[in-house]
Amino acid sequence: MPDLVRREGFAELFRRFSRSAWRWEAQGTYRQPDEKEPWQRWRDGVEVATDLDWLRPWLDEVRAATSAGKRFERVRLMTEPPTEYLRWQMEVTPANIQAGEDIRILAAGEAEALNLPDHDFWLFDDERVAVLYFSSDDLEGAEIITNPATVARYRSWREVAWQHAVAFEDYVKP
């Protein structure tokens, strides 16, 4: 495994970017400790809109960044049928959008046909990539890539995913 930036070093990436933070979300399920209890409450029937305290720090960070003119964007790969986790995330997503994120959805089959990667990453300011590594129960950390040729490949993947993804609001329309 490559050298990974962990916890505070990873969080620092979100404070240091100046223009854009873009996420490719390729997993059907994430097992992050801070999501375990809210996900279980959703499974138990608690409405997501009344249970977002766990997400407030992220929403506040996004709101502050977008108010300062920075962009937060992501494309979420959607399995067919969606996993239970993805169904829960679809209910959480409106809060992210209200905070300022532009979130789009891309079907897994289409992503595969477009040869998009099967791993998650963040692209910061078009010049730094954070490839995410997960254990069975948490984010292990991120490999930071700044090599121009490699970053260009990730920018290309972003362009393809963004072009083919559907805005969240259009995806959820009946």
Band of pLDDT at residue 1, cut at 50, 70 and 90:
low
- Its pTM surpasses 0.85: yes
* Domain annotation covers residue 1: no
* Domain annotation covers residue 115: yes
* Domain annotation covers residue 127: yes
DSSP string, 5-18: B-HHHHHHHHHH-S
* Domain annotation covers residue 2: no
* CB-CB contact of 66 with 100 (8 Å): yes
* CB-CB contact of 156 with 22 (8 Å): no
* Domain annotation covers residue 46: yes
**What would the pLDDT profile of 18-60 be if each residue is shown by its tens digit?**
999 999 999 999 988 889 999 999 999 988 878 899 999 999 9
* Domain annotation covers residue 148: yes
* Domain annotation covers residue 49: yes
* Domain annotation covers residue 136: yes
**Residue 174 predicted with pLDDT over 80:** no
Question: What is the C-alpha separation between 35 and 91, in angstroms, rounded?
Answer: 14
Number of domains observed in the structure of the chain: 1
| CATH code of residue 126 | 3.30.870.10
Residue 137 belongs to what domain range?
7-171
